[in-house]
Copies of this chain bind each other. A is one copy, B any other.
Amino acid sequence: MSVSIELAPLDRAAMATVREHLDRLTKPPGSLGRLEALIVQLAGITGSNAPRVEQPAIAVFAADHGVTAQGVSAYPSAVTAQMVANFVAGGAAINVLARAAGAKLVVVDVGVVGPELAVSSRVRAGTRDMTVEPAMTRDEALRAIGIGRDVVGGLVADGCDAIALGEMGIGNTTAASALVALLTGRPPAEVTGRGTGLDDEAVRRKVVVIEAALRLHQPGRGDPLGTLAAVGGLEIAALVGAMLAGGESRIPIILDGFITGAAALVAVGIAPTLAPRLIASHRSAEPGHRVVLEQLGLEPLLDLDLRLGEGSGAALALPLLRAGTLLLAEMATFESAGVSGPPLEGG
């Protein structure tokens, strides 16, 4: 069984209208740099000449990974559940950043091991060890995708007009590196990094683990769902679903770092016209993230060497999106303000 989704292309008319309006605002044409491209993209995504980011939400999906049995993380697997408890208590970085950005935060347990504390839609308690067997069945992956879809669908029904995505899952940089290696054909060593803080020797062991998993699983290059099931994670699958729902709802989808980027590669495999609806918030310190961004054709807004996950980079980028929409909505035009207009071409 294969899944393929056709999304509407960006709204070229809205983009042209907004591009033209930007040049009437009281600033030298193009002087807001990449913020202008972002504003035009928001118009294309939403199909509106006046896109808004008034009710952003951050959805964080959490799950555990069987591959942690192979010693691929600096932290024990139990930290996933502990951090979910921290999210629920409001003490994690993403709680602070969501409050700072005025964004609603939803934490969804799609596969944590341990007590169920957050919004629970647990498909199973952690994936299987990808070095021994597929991490998920195709059905489990599809169920996790459905959960991500439902979460974002519900948020949109409540008025959410921009979705920022994050994750928590000890071991999930291993899953993401395996996914990126399979989906791009790059060698694991090139797309594997320190995760939460491995030293050089531990990174080499992590690469060996990923190589072992890749020898075991050889899904076709045209089978993103099979790849996801083989070496992905439940939270990564939920992220894929969240992106598909964001694409269908025509709201901007703000990626975080490496894990959400790996999920985006899967999502674009399923819905090839999704990519222009994605916004890369930041360039992560994980080396594989560069490969992901290149593959997706995305240029991140921030470059702050973040490597926390949780949606932290996406949350930090929200004020830039909001600022862009407000500039478009509230700035005076040369005409309305009585300011002498831009010079003639070449003047």
Contacts and interface: CB of A to CB of B under 8 A. Distances in A.
B327 A97 contact: yes
Contacts of A99: 326, 330
Contacts of A340: 75-76, 78-79, 82
A257 to B, nearest CB: 10
Contact of A302 (B82, B93, B95, B302): B302
Given A34-B304, A83-B26, A100-B326, A91 B316 contact: no
Contact of A308 (B28, B302, B308, B342): B28
B197 A89 contact: no
Interface in A85-140: 85-86, 89, 91-93, 95-97, 99-101
Interface residues of A, number: 62
A74 B347 contact: yes
Given A79-B339, A96-B326, A327-B93, A305 B34 contact: yes
20 contacts: A26-B86, A26-B93, A28-B75, A29-B197, A32-B312, A34-B305, A74-B347, A82-B338, A85-B337, A86-B337, A91-B337, A92-B331, A92-B337, A95-B330, A96-B327, A96-B331, A197-B343, A316-B319, A316-B320, A316-B323
